[in-house]
Structure 1
Amino acid sequence: MKKISLTLTTAALTLAAGTVSANCDPGEVVAKFSHVTGGTTHPKVVAANSLAERVNAEMNGKMCVEVYPNSTLFGDSKELEALLLGDVQLLAPSLSKFGSYTEKYGVFDLPFIFKDMDAAIRFTNSDNGKALLTEMDEYAGFVGLGYWMSGMKYFSANKTLNVPSDAEGLKFRVQTSDVAKQMISAMGASPQAMAFSEVYGALQTGVVDGQENTWSNIYTKKFFEVQESVTETNHQLLAYLFMTSSDFLKSLDKDTREQFMQIADEVTQAANLNVKAAEATNRANILKAGGTIIELTPAQRQEWVDTMKPVWKQFEKDIGKDLIDAAAGA
């Protein structure tokens, strides 16, 4: 039976009580893929659905991927535990989530470490980047299958941000990343860690004053609707670790594992090549929907860089100077 990946509609959510089936056949290895992103245009959604479509077509009879988007199976505070318990087999959390497992992934959070997304992709394809995929295997049983780029990050707030001092006294939602927290503190603002699914409500009610994210997240989650403007800082990379558990990989027979890993790598490379176009589209979508984007002058951008670059030194010992230098030079 040929199967397809599904993206949930509101009706489907109501009908299926938060689950979706790809109509897996008896005897197939079922891989449940849980992620927190909604909509149809976000790079993570596109990549996850592409993976499912290819596996379900090319590995029909051997393996089947079910996609559970928009936190319908597990939210981002529970998904890593679910992976270790075997309740889900595939995830794509932000790299910022792994600080309690390894400090080396903090290199991706350093502000202005990458000139642009092309530089980030070069780093992830380097020997240093590939070595990080198995950094947590021995300690936690997590194995990276690839890095899924989502784009560079931009600050939004309930007031205009032209220079870092404009953020003084504000509260910004961040992920559970020590690097991100120090970056916000360098602006004179207060970092507030919270789950992605809670961000819109927190912005809407004033629990936090601002956040940082990609064009795709800002648009698909409608953050721009509850913020005065978005500042085009281009300050940080948002990427996801497309991952599984070592137990799941070991459970696959050799041929199944090799075919799945090949498809996973091909989907990753294709997805990353398409991200820039998707980001440009969602930036335009924000403007079309009435959002405001602040473009920085060269002098203003340099002020952001000068304010945040000292954060590198704070984490040099934890991350490793060699790794930081490799990323900065990509």
Structure 2
Amino acid sequence: MKLKHAALIASLALAVPGIANAADIVIKFSHVVAPDTPKGKAAEYFKKLAEQRTKGRVQVQVYPNSQLYKDKEELEALQLGAVQMLAPSLAKFGPLGVKEFEAFDLPYLFDNYDEVHKVTLGPIGKQLFSKLETKGIKGLGYWDNGFKNFSSNKPIHTPADLKGVKIRIQSSKVLDEEMRVVGALPQVMAFSEVYQALQTGVVDGTELEPSNLYTSKAYEVQKHLTLTGHGYLGYAVVVNKKFWDGLPADIRTTLEGAMADTTKYEIQLAQQDSEKALAAIKASGKTQIYTPTPAEKAAFQKVFKQVHEKMADRVGLALLKQVEQTTGYSAPK
């Protein structure tokens, strides 16, 4: 314990301005996915821009694949100052007490990336970030990953096909309800544990977007993938607020610019990577890909409408209406 305590103090000494020289400002950027995902590539791109533009005054250390912390641990580590930067999925902020972020988990709330960006890059995105500040966290940008699909070892063509299927989800009341309305069995699990859980039968399937399904190799232990596109998965790049506020003003401004440019890069990359990952999964021959008919997709949309109704109070009815007005969402009949 003493060694861990000493290591933490040493880590903070390197990271906090004023304790170390300006040239030694270190940002530990931890994330839970592979380096060749959109998030992983963007983290490296931010590192490159930040170090170049600050002329070496800032060093960004990127730790992918849960090398430092798993999903459930990383936000606490950020709040404690053990790391300075994360890019957790938006669902992670619900368990932290900011339930409004779980609105992003609502099925079929967004039809495409343009609708997502009207929310994340507009006033609603800023409004949600402001709610994190009481938790000692500052939001810097929203990054895309993609739209989620159901995978399983049996074909899933209708909502009824999900009955009794153990599906891995992130910790989110909305996602839990999503599974329950179709009779699936939600299993909360860290992303780093998904492949082994699928391999050993602890879970039967996933709701993942193509990039993470491919780079985690989870598709290798899933016989079927149905392109339901039922949910959006995005990330929020966040920093420890105390650390951020303590940076020299010029450094902070430079890093904000680097993050803005990285976000533009990441948004373009995410869509391209989803398409490439899906093509690679198809080419592998390990997973049969099924595209629902319009009638089958409508059946999913209709049953998942219940999730919006049941979770409106949790995510905030006013916020939900604001998002729906911004995107032009209309409930299925």
Once residues 317 and 121 of structure 1 are traced to their aligned partners in structure 2, the CA distance between those partners, rounded to angstroms, is 24
* Displacement of 1:95: 0.7
With normalisation by structure 1, the TM-score equals: 0.89
For 1:123, the equivalent position in structure 2 comes to: 119
Q: Given residue 80 of structure 1, which amino acid in structure 2 is its aligned partner?
A: L
Match of 1:272 in 2: 267
Q: How many percent of aligned residue pairs carry the same amino acid?
A: 38
Partner of 1:167: 162
Give the C-alpha shift of residue 211 in structure 1. Answer: 0.8
Q: Aligned match of 1:38 in 30, 34, 44? A: 34
Query: Cα distance, 1:243 vs. partner?
Result: 0.6
Cα offset, 1:39, TM superposition: 4.2
**2:236 counterpart (241, 250, 255):** 241
Q: How many Å apart are 1:121 and its aligned residue?
A: 1.4
CA–CA separation in structure 1 for the residues paired with 2:324 and 2:243: 34
String of CA shifts for 1:44-95, please: whole Å, max 9, x gaps: 0111010001111111232111111111122222111111221111101111
Deviation at 1:134? 2.0
SS in 2 for 1:27: helix
One-letter amino acid matched to 1:316: A
2:20 matched to 1:27?
no
1:104-183 to 2 correspondences below 5 Å: 104-138=100-134, 140-183=135-178
1:325 has 2:321 as partner: yes
Distance 1:133 1:266 in 2: 19
How big is the shift at 1:301? 0.2
SS of structure 1 residue aligned to 2:23: coil
Deviations 1:229-272 (A, max 9, x none): 11100000000111111111111011111111121122112211
**How many angstroms apart in 1 are the aligned matches of 2:275 and 2:322?**
28
TM-score, length-scaled by structure 2: 0.89
Equivalent positions of 1:146-295 (< 5 A) are 146-290=141-285, 291-295=287-291
CA distance in 2, matches of 1:318, 1:233: 25
Report the CA distance between 1:292 and its aligned residue: 1.5
The answer to whether the 8 A contact 1:111-1:235 is kept is yes
Amino acid at match of 1:264: M
Matches of 1:328 and 1:227 in 2, distance apart?
Answer: 34
CA spacing shift, 1:288–1:214, aligned 2, 3 Å: same
C-alpha distance in structure 2 between counterparts of 1:146 and 1:265, whole Å = 7
The residue that corresponds to 1:296 in the other structure is 292
For 2:155, what is the secondary structure of its paired residue?
Answer: coil
Q: Aligned-pair distance for 1:124? A: 0.6
Work out the CA distance in 1 between the residues paired with 2:35 and 2:43: 12
- Whole-Å separation in 2 of the counterparts to 1:26 and 1:242: 23
CA contact (8 A) 2:102 2:174 kept: yes
Q: Does the aligned pair in 2 maintain the 1:134–1:142 contact within 8 Å?
A: no
1:81 maps to 2:82: no
Q: Deviations over 1:5-56 (max 9, x none)?
A: xxxxxxxxxxxxxxxxxxxx9832100101111142x110111010001111
Q: Which aligned runs of 4 or more in structure 1 are off by greater than 3 angstroms?
A: none
Equivalence for 2:15:
none
Measure the CA separation in 1 of the matches of 2:249 and 2:68.
29
Distance of 1:69 and 1:116 partners within structure 2: 28
Aligned-partner residue type, residue 165 of structure 1: A
Structure 1 window deviating more from structure 2 (189-198 vs 118-127): it is: 118-127
| Distance of 1:64 and 1:134 partners within structure 2 | 27
1:148-193 deviation per Cα after TM superposition (whole angstroms, max 9, x unaligned)? 1000100101110000100101111100000000000011111010
- SS of the counterpart of 2:71? coil
Unaligned runs of 5+ in 1: 1-24
Partner of 1:52: 47
1:115 maps to amino acid:
D
Query: How far 1:321 moved relative to its partner?
Result: 2.4
5 Å matches for 1:92-111?
92-100=87-95, 101-111=97-107
RMSD: 1.5
Contact 1:123 1:326 in 2 (8 A): no
TM-superposed CA distance for 1:136, in Å, is 1.5
What letter matches 1:296 in structure 2?
A: P
Aligned partner letter, 1:283: L
Where in structure 2 are there 5+ consecutive unaligned residues? 1-20, 328-333
Letter in 2 for 1:45: G
Asked if 1:310 corresponds to 2:306, the answer is yes
**Contact 1:114 1:327 (C-alpha < 8 Å) held by counterparts:** no
